[in-house]
Structure 1
Amino acid sequence: MFGWFRSKPVCPVSAEEKAWIENRFSWLIGEFGMQRLTKGTLILPTTDFFPEEYHRTADEIQKIMDLVAEYMNVSPSILRLNFYEDFRPEIEGMWTAGSVGMYSESARKFDIWLEIHSLENPLTVIATLAHEIGHVLLLGQRRISHIEEDHEPLTDLLTVYLGLGLFSANAVMQEHYWNDGPLSGWSMGRQGYLSMEMFGYAFALFGIARGEIAPKWLSQLRLDVRSACKQGMRYITETGDCSCEFVTPR
């Protein structure tokens, strides 16, 4: 009888966000194939996928970029790594995220740019590289154009689809601690174009499409994204309210 008091499933995102995520997820299936989603490898923040040592050298970052490119089925030979500096003013204890990466095209290469102050955390570097290399697949290969308003959030969604979304989702909110002699402080910034709830719902679609109802990789997600993912999985499986082709309507 305790089941009488079980709460009704609630979608973790708004109706508008839900419709966009499902529509674009279906679009990605059409562009990259269902097999790429269901059979692709989920890339984890472990030494099975990335080097154990990281000292922020250009050679190390180049090797990481090559690995990310290969995981996304992009040839490293068409990419060129660059670095730049962006000013980040601090306002009332909050730092403005500024830019951490950029993408541009030249005659023979796709240029991937990393902001030099964002290189301390290798997980942030991987998230930025995955996003910028995603531009190669979407913009560089002319699947979409710059004039499409949602091309940036779509690129974040692509990282989930291609198995590198753990890095993108976990980099959404970042805490920074600093110490300068007798002074120390803390600040928080935001990175990326999808909210934590939107990432969670995208991962719910990812898991359901792969038949992973209780995936082990959930433990690798930051708590707020993980909670939204679980909530989204429950909502979809119990209601069938999802327009993606791999969900059976109830």
Structure 2
Amino acid sequence: MFGFFRKSTKAKCPIPEENRIWMEDAFKWLISEFKKDKIISRKILRPSNEDFPFQFNQSEEDAYILLPVIAEQMEVESSQIELRFYDQTLAEFSSGAGKIFSQQTPGEQYSAGTYNTKKNAGKFVISIEAAQLKNTESLIATLAHEFAHIKLIGEKRIKQNDEFLTDLVTVIFGLGIFNANSSFRFYTNQESWGYRKQGYLSQQEWGYALALFALLRDKDEKKPQWINFLVPNIKSDFKKSMTFLTDNSPIL
């Protein structure tokens, strides 16, 4: 297979060719596994009071409030899930401009959450890093990613873990806005500034994945309403990807 679309010189693809082919083939596989009609008809959840009409207090309680919502969206029985929490300290680096804190230690993959493929007392164990509780959108993204592991490994669709494919699962289950927005964020306060990187796809890859998703749902809708909930950098990458995809002939 060589992806969904034939190459064209009309617009430049915003992601490397090898990544484009992989992502389009991955989407085709996901469609076969999770059914195109269900992907098209499924509601897209947005960071809004309409979709999440709850009061959050940045505590573990938030995760328990969100658990049944994400479980229903991703078609997993919430009673099968056991939540746990852990603390992973921020890494600190010095610079001439002050302290920089990164949630990704050099040489290590930062973990916003973990999923245990072995069931504990008949339940899947999802562990949430404490820092995720401070940002509801990131917490939703973490839960969605860990639930995606259940859809792939827990439901025995794949044998070996694939984090990039796991990220894509959140898109087809209507939670891609959260994971894309959380993929790379700067933060600042009175004492420091830094960034938080979450997930495995790059910003450009998230934009491309969301564009594929949008075209799958409606090939005539180039600017779906839900893109207004994307952060500016992801929205820009989405538009670049949509331009490339609409300038190329689909071979589905």
Bin of the TM-score, shorter chain as denominator length: 0.7 to 0.9
2:194 equivalent to 1:187:
yes
Q: Distance in 1 between matches of 2:33 and 2:144?
A: 18
Q: Distance in 2 between matches of 1:58 and 1:96?
A: 20
**Identical columns (%):** 34
Give the structure 1 partner of residue 126 of structure 2.
112
Is the 8 Å Cα contact of residues 95 and 188 (structure 1) preserved in structure 2? Answer: yes
2:218 equivalent to 1:216:
no
- Normalised to the residue count of structure 2, the TM-score between the two structures is 0.86
> Which is further off, 96-105 or 86-95?
86-95
Deviation string 1:170-192 (CA, Å, 9 cap, x unpaired) is 0011223234xxxx221112111
Is the 8 Å Cα contact of residues 36 and 162 (structure 1) preserved in structure 2? Answer: no
Q: Distance in 1 between matches of 2:26 and 2:228?
A: 26
Give the structure 2 partner of residue 102 of structure 1.
114
**Which structure 2 residues correspond to residues 8-19 of structure 1 after superposition, within 5 A?**
8-19=10-21
Give the structure 2 partner of residue 163 of structure 1.
174
> Which is further off, 87-96 or 124-133?
87-96
Q: Secondary structure at the match of 1:143?
A: coil
How far does residue 88 in structure 1 lie from its aligned partner after superposition? 2.5
Q: Secondary structure at the match of 2:131?
A: helix
Give the structure 1 partner of residue 140 of structure 2.
126
Q: Secondary structure at the match of 1:156?
A: helix
Q: Distance in 2 between matches of 1:89 and 1:145?
A: 33
Give the structure 2 partner of residue 248 of structure 1.
none
**Which structure 2 residues correspond to residues 1-250 of structure 1 after superposition, within 5 A?**
8-92=10-94, 93-97=100-104, 98-104=110-116, 105-107=118-120, 108-146=122-160, 148=161, 151-179=162-190, 184-211=191-218, 212-240=221-249, 245=252
Q: Distance in 2 between matches of 1:23 and 1:33?
A: 15
- The total of aligned residue pairs comes to 230
Q: Distance in 1 between matches of 2:123 and 2:129?
A: 19
> Which is further off, 133-142 or 44-53?
44-53
Q: Secondary structure at the match of 1:102?
A: strand
Is the 8 Å Cα contact of residues 13 and 197 (structure 1) preserved in structure 2? Answer: yes
Q: Distance in 1 between matches of 2:28 and 2:214?
A: 14
Q: Distance in 1 between matches of 2:134 and 2:176?
A: 20
Q: Secondary structure at the match of 2:205?
A: helix
Q: Secondary structure at the match of 2:159?
A: coil
How far does residue 94 in structure 1 lie from its aligned partner after superposition? 4.3
Q: Where does structure 2 lack aligned partners over 5 or more consecutive residues?
A: 1-8, 95-99, 105-109
How far does residue 59 in structure 1 lie from its aligned partner after superposition? 2.9
Is the 8 Å Cα contact of residues 59 and 133 (structure 2) preserved in structure 1? Answer: no
Is the 8 Å Cα contact of residues 101 and 192 (structure 2) preserved in structure 1? Answer: no
Q: Distance in 2 between matches of 1:232 and 1:192?
A: 20
Give the structure 1 partner of residue 6 of structure 2.
none
